Structure 1
Amino acid sequence: MEYLNIDAIDVQLLELLQEDASCSNQWLAAQAGISPPTCLRRVRRLHESGLIERQVAILNPDRLAAAVGHGLACIVEVSLDRQGAEHMDAFEAQAVAEPAVQQCWRVAPGPDFMLVVHTRDMPGYLALSQRLFTASANVRNAKAFFSTKRAKFETRLPLPPTV
């Protein structure tokens, strides 16, 4: 994997884009103290290098639940019986294919996976658990922790300070 050399202006652009990726190129350039064409070129380079993976809209789950109905969030610890690479890869592929699985992490020590799951309601979670945990002969244990309140949710990654 090739790494991109970034400077203080790139770091500043990344900070600004992490705060609001919908800002205009002109505004972004003014904040960074560079010309709009230079800004556009730098942001394209950050995208092309893979440093900026994608830009998305982040939905508020509480307001979404109020608008469309219930919402249930949980974190699930999953332990497998067999941890060979092919077994880990198979469960991971199954988990990431589920739309309700928002995040899938392989972890150690302890359980093999941590999943962040969002479903409409408990019947939706039960259906997911049947597909993902019960139907698989290799899942030894799945332990769910249901959210009662989200105190913090951040997508920002810490960057080195700019001078």
Structure 2
Amino acid sequence: MNETHPTTDYAMLKRQLAALLDTRDWVTNTSQMAAFIFQQVPELNWAGFYIQREERVLRLGPFQGQPACNPIEFEAGVCGAAARTRQTQRVEDVHAFPGHIACDAASRSELVVPLISNDRLWGVLDLDSPLPGRFALEDQEGIEALCQVLMDQTDLPDLIG
């Protein structure tokens, strides 16, 4: 963990995000959330969504940052691991992660939260940082809480088909 990164007030961010997501529309809300996190959570170089639009494949959704890899299969990378296992992936050093996909060579650590709707994986929220060990457990819990706000305030359609 990088000891110099500022503490993030996730409780405050949760209240702000709840107020920001004033529509049930998934495109609007995921776009707003990607921009909000990118602006409010320090030391990120990418924040965005990958959405499952076909079986075992994630497709790029709303994001902030450099152009991104697309598509991502469930068998590849940190996003694929989160999708496959339906478990949050917090990786201190992406270069040590088996099968890591290097979309941006500057990225050093990653946090990926799966989004489950109606017992199905809808997609993942992916955060990248140029700092190794950027994401602590408190960041994981805070970002998972922000994802719950999104899930509670958004109609996420089944896009596979």
TM-score tier, shorter chain, comes to under 0.3
Normalising by structure 2, report the TM-score: 0.27
Q: Which has the larger radius of gyration?
A: 1
Say which structure is richer in strand. Answer: 2
Which is richer in helix? 1
Normalised by the size of structure 1, how large is the TM-score? 0.27
